[in-house]
Structure 1
Amino acid sequence: MVYKAIRYIYGTLAFIFIVILIRTFVFDIYYVPSSSMEKTLFPGDYVLVNKIAYGAKVPTYFADIPVIGALLKEPYLSSKNGRYTKLKAFKEFQREDLIVFKSVEKKNSLLIKRLIGMPGDTLEIVNSTVFINGQLLTKMEFFSYRYLDSLGRIETYTNKEFDTLSRSHKAALQKMIVTKAIFPFSKQKEWTIDNYGPIIIPKKGMTISLTQENIALYKHNIHDYETELKMLSENTVSDYTFKHNYYFALGDNRHNSIDSRIYGFIPENYIQGKMAAVIFRD
């Protein structure tokens, strides 16, 4: 009886270890909590995340290990940069990839968005249309926007749905230009989520001459993810060379998404993996 109990305990522990190993380095399952990706993904969807594609990551803290982290609830140490040690990547980041990443605001939360801006890109949004390095980014048929009808009611359509509307219906609709608190705070009166930038996304090895204006854009990344600078100003530092790559991500539901327009650039080592498939939809 004792022998059977020991075998059962060892078997259970081995199973848990294998599950943790797979979820940490190979594949994981992510629950979609919000409507920011509608109508590509929906609240309640479960998606499979490929963690090998961009290079599996060795967690720095127990809090970042699946299952164990949830039990320990180890607090995030914001002064530490580089939460993961990245292993060899099998795939390069591609524009339009759906990525799962650690939230830069709520450190123990995961988000899923569409990768739009790559390191070194200049991104600009004009009347909700995205331009990368001056080139129009293709509008996917599943991107959705809010419109006002002639009675002031809000209707939401994907690009594909809008194209199928009658000419008279289209004429009665006006695409909304949404205002919302945006990144960086210094641009609150100038930029909106529909008219944003231009903004240069930091790239490893890129050197910038610091000015009063771009300090507001980059000081958060430099302080929290790059170095231990306590005072970042024109008087103490004249230029800065980035040590890491950063990315810019948007939700497909462009008028109902908290994304890089709100919280800024995503450090590369925060990206957990690429969405591989929807495995369950209610």
Structure 2
Amino acid sequence: MNWKFWQKRNDTAPKKKKTKGKEWFDAIIFAVIAATVIRVFFIEAYTIPTGSMEKSLLIGDFLFVSKVNYGARIPMTPVAFPFAHHTMPVTGTKAYWDGVQWKYRRLPGMQDIKRNDVVVFNFPDGDTVALEAQDRDYYEMVRSVGREAIRSQYTIVSRPVDKRENYIKRCIGISGDIMSMSNGLVSVNGKAEPMKRTGQIDYTVKFKTSDVNFQLFEDMGFIIERDIMAISQDSYNFIGTPDQMEQVRKLDFVTSVTTRTAAPDAAEPSVFPQDPNRKWNADNWGPIQIPKKGWTVKLDSNSMPLYKRAIEVYEGNKLEKSGSGWLINGLKTDSYTFKMNYFWMMGDNRHNSLDSRYWGFVPEDHVVGKALFIWMSYDTNGSFFNKIRWSRIFRGIH
């Protein structure tokens, strides 16, 4: 038999052509893989759902968030449905399988997190969630009415780090910083840090007359009945930025402009670290030292309320009280050395933000990426022809 003849015939035989269905299937698989790689390691789109970052970021802003700047986080829950975060869009079931969990790793980044960066991260308190009330902090609900009451009313689930809800805030303090706040003014390492031009807080504005043209304030960027509310006949509560309030202060019919903050001794039980011995509130708290990788803290009754959750939950240790001291993983100790860096995140809309003042530190393994720019902005309250905020498209985030 002429084997060369058969080999040549086999080599020159026409190859079977792919069907249209097979071509479409291959194209879809390739597109899904490519989009997933881009989303995980390079850049991802996010939407602003709340007003906690006004006036920097508005509800309806669509952002691109870089995974490259701080280094892309290797997926910790690798078995997951593409393009779904933690819940399937139609069925409402889990979009991942937590039977396989990888330890935290991150690729080298272009920079470290700096103060005033706008950062996307996984919600630290989101390890436990009441499914029917996902917009509320489970631990705050427990503190309000008790664990048994919550578990009897809601479906409770646990989520791995990278499948917790995504939050966006401004980094106010980095690892090792000593933070405090007095009358709404943040101090970092003993130096006062006034809000930048986009940060806003409540003010009391007193007028010389009750006959005021409020259109003037709309021209300044205020929204009547949202940013301006009557307190008395001649006094109003304003929510505004420092630049806006400086304009208000210059008006000849304005008597005074003062920040409207809680009294220093008005304890707010929901404020971190929810310690009855600390009479803190959202406008007055601290000092707090943010943990840094390699930093050793002495464990006692003063420090433990601040660092207990970081040691036990974020860094995965078994922590037990033993007489007047503590056991960590069964060993008696009076100190702990942190394995990760932590950060302090706050919203620019200081009196309308659920942030580190309520749940404490953000561990580095929760960091998703750096917000880069707004690629689209859509005002759901605008008129039919004016819903797109054209001036915000492709606007950088500062």
Please, what TM-score do these two structures have when normalized by structure 1? Answer: 0.91
**What is the deviation of 1:94?**
1.1
**Alpha carbons of 1:12 and 1:272: their partners in 2 closer, same or farther (altered >3 Å)?**
same
Partner of 2:96: 74
Stretch deviating more after TM superposition (103-112 or 56-65) = 56-65
The SS at the match of 2:124 is: coil
Structure 1 partner of 2:145: none
SS of equivalent residue, structure 1 residue 106: helix
What is the alpha-carbon distance in structure 1 between the residues aligned to residue 103 and residue 120 of structure 2?
15
1:8-87 aligned within 5 A: 8-62=24-78, 67=83, 69=85, 70-71=87-88, 72-74=94-96, 84-87=104-107
Name the CA distance, whole Å, in 2 between partners of 1:203 and 1:242: 6
Distance 1:183 1:61 in 2: 29
Number of matched residues? 279
In the alignment, does 2:183 pair up with 1:161? Answer: no
Residues in 2 aligned to 1:189 and 1:169: alpha-carbon distance in whole angstroms: 41
C-alpha change, 1:29 and 1:172, in structure 2 (3 Å) is same
1:117–1:28 CA distance, 2 compared to 1 (3 A)? same
TM-score, length of structure 2 as denominator length: 0.65
Amino acid at match of 1:14: F
Contact 2:71 2:108 in 1 (8 A): yes
Whether the 8 Å contact between 1:128 and 1:195 is mirrored in structure 2 is yes
Instruction: Say whether 1:103 aligns with 2:112.
Output: no
1:176 to 245, 252, 260: 260
Structure 1 residue 84: Cα displacement: 3.3
Please state if 1:263 is matched with 2:352: no
RMSD across aligned C-alpha pairs, in angstroms? 2.4
Do the aligned partners of 2:81 and 2:95 also contact (CA within 8 Å) in 1? Answer: no
- Deviation of residue 3 (structure 1)? 1.3
- Do the aligned partners of 1:182 and 1:263 also contact (CA within 8 Å) in 2? yes
Partner of 1:88: 108
CA offsets, 1:236-263, max 9 Å, x none?
3311000110000111111111110011
Give the whole-Å Cα distance in 1 for the aligned partners of 2:366 and 2:304: 22
Contact 1:83 1:269 in 2 (8 A): no
> Gaps (5+ residues) in structure 2?
1-16, 89-93, 128-163, 207-229, 328-332, 379-398
Q: Which residue of 192, 202, 208 maps to 2:297?
A: 208
Mark the runs of 5 or more structure 1 residues left unpaired by the alignment.
none
Larger Rg, first or second structure (1 or 2)? 2
Equivalent residues of 1:23, 1:66 under 8 A apart: no
> Structure 1 residues 258, 73: CA separation in 2 closer, same or farther (over 3 Å shift)?
same
Q: Residue 10 of structure 1: CA displacement?
A: 0.7
Residue of structure 1 aligned with 2:315, choices 218, 226, 230: 226
Specify whether residues 27 and 190 from structure 1 end up closer, same or farther in structure 2 by C-alpha distance, changes over 3 A only. same
Paired residues of 2:169 and 2:345 also in contact (CA < 8 A) = yes
